[in-house]
Structure formats: structure tokens, C-alpha cells
Amino acid sequence: MNILLVDGNDKKSSEDYLKTGMLPQYDLYKEVLLKLSSTEINVCVIHPTWTENFMEIGSNLDDFEGVVWTGSALNIYDSKLIIQRQIDLAKVLLGKKNKMFGSCWGLQVLVTAAGGKVRKNPKGLEAIIAKNIQLNDAGIKHPMYTDKPKNFDSFCWHYDEVELLPENSIILASNNFSDFQSMSFIRNKSEVWGVQYHPEFNPDWISGLMLMRKSVLIEKKIYQSEKEFLNIYDYLFNTQKIEQLSYNNFDISDTLIEERIRYREIDNWLKYLKTSF
């Protein structure tokens, strides 16, 4: 199978990750896709914010069975050419027969391209851990959540949320921070699964993000003190020692730490993609 992985970030953001020793989001996502797939897949990464000519020579948008869209530090409502380029690309892809999966920004781009609307969340920043995400009845029955607990936590970082759903959307999950933590919809011949959180993130990567954005996390009261910040950081950075630590000490669910649960949405999408062709 051929999968198109659309990098939502601008080049500077990706370079900033590399400077701190982290993988850029597109490499992290590619690593997870290759790890989870039970069959051989080819993952082609494109960077529509980096250049107008973002497709590899000799390839075109009809070459792929599935499309995955990463997160980003961008805001969809900003009037920037690099954002509009992604929306235009999404409109083209939605017009083809595709199975699509979007994380956070990826969801927001696909929703916007399908006629929905995204806003700055009036509740502010939801960061590091999106807690107590709850599946509704549609979510429990949806193939994205096969073998996923009804209530779970996930890694996250977003200021924005979906405000207006595209036509024919099905809301699958929500929490106290957002009514639209996940959804699915069909547009033209394409089927979209989207989540506002980041099932592709892992504890080591998110601990690096915490260091990068420490001042923001404390300023926005995600953590009330440096001590609280360091406690969570040390825990996530040292999950290899999980048997010596307690989730409950930090109000962290095993759904966040256990890999088989954390990656479930992406794993299920890959299985769904395989059975669709």
C-alpha cells in the first residue's frame, strides 16, 4: 500500500524540533505508521508549506491508497499562503477516492476544506494530556475505536477546535475541553477519520515538547508550578521505569502510557485501509 503523509508544519518548526534532538512530526508519524502496519507500506512525505512544488518527481496524487495529515504549529484561520495551499490540497484529495486520517491540525485542515469551520477554543490551550476523552455510542461502534477503552487520555497540544462540522459528520468522542475530540465524515468519494488529539505522540517525544514550551505551559497554568511541571516531565521521560512508578500519583491513565492502547486509532485505520482494497 502507498500512503501519502502530508506534513502540516512550516520548515522552521520542523528545524526547531531537530535542534532540540526531537524528530520532526512527519518523521515521528512515519515511524509509527511503519511500526504498526502488518503489511509492507510505502510512505511518501510531502511538505506543502515548504515549497509550491511539493510532490516528488514522477509521483502524483492518484498513486496513494491512504492519506495521513500531521499536526502543525499553524492556525487555520490565519490568512497565510502556506495555509491556503494546504486547504487547496485537501480539497483536491477529498475529491478523489481516499481513506484519510488527520491528527489535530490535520483534522482542522480537512474540516475546513470540507466546508466546516475552526475557531480558537474559548477554553484556551489544551496541552500535553487531553484527559477523560469519552466515546459516545457512535464512537463505540466506529471501526476507529475497535478495542479502545470507552474513556481514555491522549497526548495533545492545541489552541483551536472545530466549531462548525462539515455535512454528514459523525461526532465520535468529546471531553470537558471540546465537544469535538474526534469525528468522521464522507466528502465526495473520500472517507475521513479525524482526531483533535495526537495518538502518534509517545511519552519520550512529548517530554521533549514540554522542555521546548516550558514557559508557555507554566504561563498558561497547564502546570501550576515548576515543581509540578518537573514531576510530570520526569515521569514521562522515564517511562522505561514504568514498573517503579504509579500512574495514579500523577493522574495519568494507562491508556496514555500503554503503547497498544495509545496507538489504537492509527492501528485500526491501517487495518481498515488494508481491507478496503
DSSP the chain: -EEEEE--S-HHHHHHHHHTTPPPHHHHHHHHHHHH-SS--EEEEE-TTT-S--SPTT--GGG-SEEEE---S--TTS--HHHHHHHHHHHHHHTSS-EEEEETHHHHHHHHHTT-EEEE-TT--EEEEEEEEEE-HHHHHSGGGTT--SEEEEEEEESEEEEEPPTT-EEEEE-SS-S-SEEEEEETTEEEEEESS-TT--HHHHHHHHHHTHHHHHHTTSSSSHHHHHHHHHHHHTGGGGGGS-GGGGT--HHHH-HHHHTHHHHHHHHHHHHT-
Reported as a pLDDT band with limits 50, 70 and 90, residue 231 is: confident
User: Residue 270 pLDDT > 60, yes or no?
Assistant: yes
| Phi (first) and psi of residue 54, to 5 degrees | -95, -10
- How many CB atoms sit inside 10 A of residue 201's CB? 25
- pLDDT tens sequence across 85-130: 999 999 999 999 999 999 999 999 999 999 999 999 999 999 999 9
Partners of 42 in the beta sheet? 2
Strands 182-187, 170-174: parallel, antiparallel or unpaired by DSSP?
antiparallel
- pLDDT tens sequence across 173-199: 999 999 999 999 999 989 999 999 999
What pLDDT sits at residue 241? 55
- pLDDT tens sequence across 145-169: 999 999 999 999 999 999 999 999 9
Where on the phi/psi map is residue 58: left (φ > 0), alpha (ψ -120 to 50), or beta?
A: left
179 contacts 133 by C-beta, under 8 angstroms: no
What pLDDT sits at residue 240? 60
Integer Rg of the chain from CA: 18
pTM, two decimal places: 0.94
